[in-house]
Structure 1
Amino acid sequence: MQKKNTLRADAVKKYIVSWLKDYATNAKVNGFVVGISGGVDSAVTSTLCAETGLPTLCVEMPIHQAESHVSRGREHIEQLKKRFPNVSSVETNLTTVFEMFKSLVPAGESEIKHNLSLANTRARLRMTTLYYHGGINGLIVAGTGNKVEDFGVGFYTKYGDGGVDISPIADLMKSEVFQLADFMGVPNSILKAAPTDGLFGDDRSDEDQLGASYDELEWAMTQSENGKEEKEFSDRELEVFKIYKRLNFVNQHKMNAIPVCKIPHSIR
């Protein structure tokens, strides 16, 4: 598989920070709110927002969260607050809300579907919380999705972490996000941690769920965009390419506009 490209981190950082500041100014909002997970994507997004000089609210939203996720997120927030006076933070523990929700809905017949629905519910509770904090403070929600997640395999929750106002890093591959994180001084604990969505209350990684690493999926995404087909690969490359194509197909409903039933003028 091909070697990853080296990102011009300084130029990219300056461009995104300027884009964020211009957008917020034109939208006449005070600044940004970002959900902090303890992962590299939220760390990079919140740092970019902080670099604008505009108010940036970092929100912790634990729901039976693994301690390693919590400690990494807090380390990042404390570092960010020391570096940028415009950064503040708040914790909204959603565990009780989540447990109440679970007590009010049926489990369903499939344990797999039940657990996945609950995982997505966590993300949607967090989205609601971010918009609440944004609403009372005049802030817009900055998304933390990267390119391979948002436009490659659709690895996010519809109307959960996919429900945002702006997406500052959605044109960066995961490997590029890591390069930017390293350049901007994101804590080493985050840089070394295996990426995880944290939606199941344990330490399962994104790779465990996807069946391939981000480096492999980036490779497959590039091959697909270049018009390559399965017959051109073998062994692990073929396996990864099939994983990518399957996920890209089944998650098109997240990446495409909501279907609208257009009524013909002839029957109006």
Structure 2
Amino acid sequence: MSTDYQRAREELGRRLRELRVESPDGRLTGTELARRLGWPQSKISKLENGRQTPTDDDLRAWAEVVGQPAVFPELRARLKGFESHIRSWRRQLAAGHAPVQENWNTLVNESRTLHVWNNHVVNGMLQTADYARNLFERYAEFRRSPRDAEDAVRARMKRQEWLYLPGRQLKVLMWEGALRAKVCPPEVLVAQLDRLLGVVGMDTIHLGIVPLDAALPLPPGGAFWILDDRLVTVEDWHAELWLDDAETIALYRRVWDTFAESAVYGTDAQQVIARVRRSIKV
């Protein structure tokens, strides 16, 4: 967890403690507040000490019980301020994968150029429906989130319409390991690789493959997106990071450019994809 994020969470905790202590009805102890809210006392402690991120409902209930419901908008603004940079998967997937995909559709539709590095799975803009479905089902099981794979697949497939709009550019680099990852049945993976073979040469797609035996000036690191040089998103196991300061965006662009030097393109990329395809036993 980033220092800035943790600092903001601790500041919100201090504000919650202040509201509890300065309640118009008289100072409330943590134990009394927990009783009124029906929460474990440990939750009060974690929230006030910045060890747990509250939900909107938590903040609303807190404001009401301490007798200051009018401060809820302030508390919510504080929460949204630091969550705009670190978006936990627990929160994002509370209603399933489809709403997350719809939000991404809006983000992509507002963009004209995407620079992407994928080192673990095929990029979502180029996935087949069956490949995407397998991923959504696996993640839903792992994260114990609502199972809405079909709605999520439809949203992801709709996003791919962006590829056929004039003036758009998807500049995607994928490590060969992402092509080999057996995250779906062999026949689904073969169809996915066929899809990649077919998009090489499209006007809106600049696809580079970094072979496993290519010299890497940097370790593969994590996957990321750069949207119009205005936003970087990085996916981790616990959260999705949204980074919008110019220095960080420039750093990730340097990383992308570095990997681009190790990639192959055009017919050379097709040869790598075809080699992986031949290795799969269906």
In proportion to residue count, which structure has more strand?
2
Return the structure number with greater relative CO, CA threshold 8 A, min gap 6.
1
TM-score with structure 2 setting the length: 0.27
Higher CA-based Rg:
2
